[in-house]
Structure 1
Amino acid sequence: MSALASLYPQPLWQWFAQICAIPHPSKHEQALSQHIQAWARDKGLSVLEDKVGNLIIKKPATAGFENRKTVVIQAHLDMVPQKNSDKVHDFTKDPIEAYVDGDWVTANGTTLGADNGIGMASALAILGSSEIKHGPLEVLLTIDEEAGMTGAFGVEPGMLEAEILINTDSEQEGEIYMGCAGGVDAEFSVAAQWQAPSDGVTAFTLSLTGLKGGHSGVNIHLGRGNANKLLARFLADNATALQLAVAAFNGGSLRNAIPREASVILTVPAVKLAQLQQQVAEFEALLKLELAAVEPALKLSLSETTLPAQVLSANAQSTLVNLLNVCPNGVMRMSDEIAGVTETSLNMGVISTNANSIQVLCLIRSLIDSGREQIESMLSSLAQLAGAEVKFSGAYPGWKPNPDSPVMAIVNQTYRDIYQKEPVVMVIHAGLECGLFKKPYPEMDMVSIGPTIRFPHGPDEMVNIKTVGQYWELLLAVLERIPQRG
């Protein structure tokens, strides 16, 4: 952590080191929130924790900037808790082991939390400075962004005075975001009918590991393997011929992360074991050929395990395997308006086996409501055909682009002046909270910026050190250029 605290800009990195030291996965942000509140009150700043747990911290303008428009800098308190299977780490108790690796900061076997810890650190560093020039300032730190946007849903009218919001949750230096996708959770439920295993069978765990995973919005177009879909494909191709019986299927851990790992507990007749081993080896070789460019560390393994007390009935297994195999996943449509940007996507994020059912949790994203609604309709039809149930929940709106945004124009011009090159104005295929803020604050002018973060939502997450400095310089320069109130 001492190495982090010495990086440029020091105030930001010192705060990020503190953030890494305090566990703050989604649903467990209270310790970090209390630390920030105590620090802010000690600084004499106005602090409010709203009824859902969001923090609003207010700081007066510096001398000579009192008549500028009020700005709110916004970030989220929580981080995605993802780790490699061989990493021993409790995200509710253990600090993030961040370290410098060449031009990047990354973590030891876990997500880093640069999403959105760098943005949060920048806001807190500005609050703590007596030298940075700015008008009246508010900092909004929301809870639970990564697991349902509970905090953003809870922001109420009248809590903020700002006319301008700068969201810090973007992940590419040199890009200015003026819009984002909306989304909705889709959860299938397949009834679990159980029976005793057949005589003369042996139990095995079939595991798929080593995939890159990543953010289900930012990385969905890269063609990475989805561990849930790939294991479902194996079962669809081999379960009948090899007389496999499934006792459990579990994969992924977050609906908004591409699943890196999945496993199936199954039984196989002794006479089919050699054939199963051969099919596993051939399937692994096939996947390594198909996904050579994007998943070089892919591994499919078969290990003997204790015989389960029960396995799925033939009908329940057929329903599950066929539903998983046919369910759409990945990019559904690219945008016609914005080159290279995904319009609509679906991520089969989590599969979990319970006593009475197998749950399949997906996340639909789309830049347009009709795109999201089309996928909802497709999944409803799939559930009907399969004899399963599907429920939709947690829908959140997209952030409609405003090409005439005054603050976007300021950020755009400021970037050109500092770096003597054109930034890229973008819409992101991910769920920023700006769309939800538009409901209580429809007139608020918004923009989103950030440093370059690679592989968010996965244990390979890293943030580029140089771009953190560039993001910081841009943010401070924009604050100086905020116009006076009309």
Structure 2
Amino acid sequence: MTPSREIEKLEPHSVWQNFHSLTQVPRPSGKRDDITNFLVDFGKTLHLETFVDDAGNVIIRKPATAGMENCKGVILQAHMDMVPQKNAATKHDFEKDPIDAFIDGDWVRANQTTLGADNGIGLASIMSVLQANNLKHGPIEALFTADEETGMYGAIGLKNGTLQGEILLNLDSEEEGELYVGCAGGIDATVTFTHELDPIYEGDVAYKISLTGLRGGHSGLEINLGRGNANKLLFRLLKKTVAICDARLASFEGGNLRNAIPREAFAIVTIPEERHTDFLQLVAQTEALLKAEYALVDPGLSITAEETQMPEGLLPEMIQDDLINGVTACHNGVLRNIPEMPEVVEASSNLAIVKTDATSVAINILIRSSVESTKEEICSMVESTFLLAGASVEFSGGYPGWQPRFDSPILHTMKDVYQKLYNAEPEVKVIHAGLECGIIGAAVPGLDMISFGPTISHPHSPDEKVEIASVQKFWDYLVSALEKTPIK
């Protein structure tokens, strides 16, 4: 099926045309070659200085327009990769297939997959600035960072001296009319159990349990909404299944991205054949219970169990029990909000991925906090939980938060520009998601930074959509802000 091109007719034309081009370039996190080559070719076609640094970031430089040479240099920054999420029944290869984006009323969404508006609209807007010959701006550096969604590796690898600008405009926020001046830091926890498989019991039957239909979402932006975590909920059922039906766990697979709330999880269990009626009743009862608990936030929740092929082996009973108890006990969700800003999450954890194979169980948890000591507290909680369960725990990929600077010159400029454009005050906020600003600011000391963007709903899930009208406002705001860049 050929993807629709209807979004190219939307305003502003250049942004939507560039965004459509980006939807045709596969760019899931970790697969950067296609998008890197696309952006390098783009910059060179415009005869602009273009290069790739050692961390895989693409940098394109555009000189100031006439009369703007004395303005401070502006770094326009967005990340190249997108979150590859689809429902289990959807056939889509994110490494090969284009995204099928279409207009749905006031929004643009994709056909059963993530749209990639996070951070594709930011990318497309920067491309439009680089293309335009009718804008007023000082020196521009486009910084397209690599693998933000899987660990911010491009930003982490950025070397001091690579960039020349003094102001960073991060175009990776997701609510028009909001200016972000701070964000949480984060760290990854990897939990590992090792084992050898036990043999199958004679007289047992195998079932595949599927927990699907959750809304999921961004584990920074939407962790406060109380949505179900597929891993936690399925292990809740597994604990009862083992206790009541003498079940044995053969395999588990839930979640696939560290920064997405897991929407689906699947387990294969064996049970004595004479317990299959009790088992099916337990599954049905648990589904009804969870559907009632999550009726408002996850109305599509579904749990099914169907007979399946007998697995090759079972997790050892001790490993099985330790895993179930560990996941059940592990903290997930919001730990606390910022006392001075009660509407903003201070600290959280996302039990993102659980996956078994023939020799091990791997669990990935993303921990976030805007306070370093609280981040350390959650790390200690997670570590203690799984050390007691007999697993090994490692922490990696830690990155700093971004401390707000409310006297920032670029914040003053951006507030003034918004007021004059829209006769309204933008909201100044701190975000719980992990923006790259903190990392880039550490690599380039003294940067004056701000983050803003159009309205994007449900990023990191197949429900992702971007509001059409907000893209026009975002573009107009960006163009006006560049024209008002402070003088050196």
TM range (shorter): over 0.9
- Partners of 2:208 and 2:414 in 1: how far apart? 53
Consecutive unaligned residues of structure 2, counting only runs of 5 or more, are none
- Partners of 2:96 and 2:441 in 1: how far apart? 35
Residue identity matched to 2:387: Q
Question: Does 2:372 match 1:336?
Answer: no
Residue identity matched to 2:254: G
Find the partner of 2:304 among 301, 306, 316.
Answer: 301
Indicate the SS of the match to 2:71.
Answer: coil
- Partners of 1:217 and 1:152 in 2: how far apart? 18
Residue identity matched to 2:375: R
Residue identity matched to 2:227: R
Find the partner of 2:479 among 462, 476, 480.
Answer: 476
Find the partner of 2:19 among 16, 31, 43.
Answer: 16
- Partners of 2:361 and 2:188 in 1: how far apart? 16
Partner of 1:261: 264
- Partners of 1:421 and 1:37 in 2: how far apart? 38
Residue identity matched to 2:436: E
- Partners of 1:193 and 1:347 in 2: how far apart? 28
Residue identity matched to 1:78: D
Instruction: Quote how far apart the aligned CAs of 1:430 are.
Output: 0.6
Question: Does 2:163 match 1:160?
Answer: yes
Range with greater deviation from structure 2 (310-319 or 223-232): 310-319
TM-score (norm 2): 0.98
Residue identity matched to 1:125: S
Indicate the SS of the match to 2:341.
Answer: coil
Question: Does 2:444 match 1:441?
Answer: yes
- Partners of 2:381 and 2:39 in 1: how far apart? 45
Instruction: Quote how far apart the aligned CAs of 1:39 are.
Output: 2.1
Partner of 2:207: 204
Find the partner of 1:272 among 270, 275, 300.
Answer: 275
- Partners of 1:10 and 1:2 in 2: how far apart? 12
- Partners of 1:44 and 1:359 in 2: how far apart? 47
- Partners of 1:141 and 1:269 in 2: how far apart? 55
Partner of 1:218: 221
- Partners of 2:190 and 2:312 in 1: how far apart? 27
Partner of 1:66: 69
- Partners of 2:158 and 2:387 in 1: how far apart? 37
Question: Does 2:386 match 1:383?
Answer: yes
- Partners of 1:383 and 1:28 in 2: how far apart? 32
Instruction: Quote how far apart the aligned CAs of 1:141 are.
Output: 0.3
Instruction: Quote how far apart the aligned CAs of 1:309 are.
Output: 2.1
Contact 1:190 1:319 in 2 (8 A): no
Instruction: Quote how far apart the aligned CAs of 1:423 are.
Output: 1.1
- Partners of 1:52 and 1:202 in 2: how far apart? 50
Question: Does 2:161 match 1:186?
Answer: no
Indicate the SS of the match to 1:436.
Answer: helix
Contact 1:221 1:330 in 2 (8 A): yes
Indicate the SS of the match to 1:334.
Answer: strand
Residue identity matched to 2:335: M
Partner of 1:115: 118
Question: Does 2:81 match 1:78?
Answer: yes
Instruction: Quote how far apart the aligned CAs of 1:238 are.
Output: 2.7
TM-score (norm 1): 0.99
Residue identity matched to 2:336: R
* Percent identity over paired residues: 48
Find the partner of 1:130 among 119, 129, 133.
Answer: 133
Partner of 2:33: 30
Residue identity matched to 2:363: V
Instruction: Quote how far apart the aligned CAs of 1:237 are.
Output: 2.3
| Displacement over 4 Å in runs of 4+ | none
Contact 2:196 2:358 in 1 (8 A): no
- Partners of 2:217 and 2:66 in 1: how far apart? 44
Residue identity matched to 1:260: R
Residue identity matched to 2:277: A
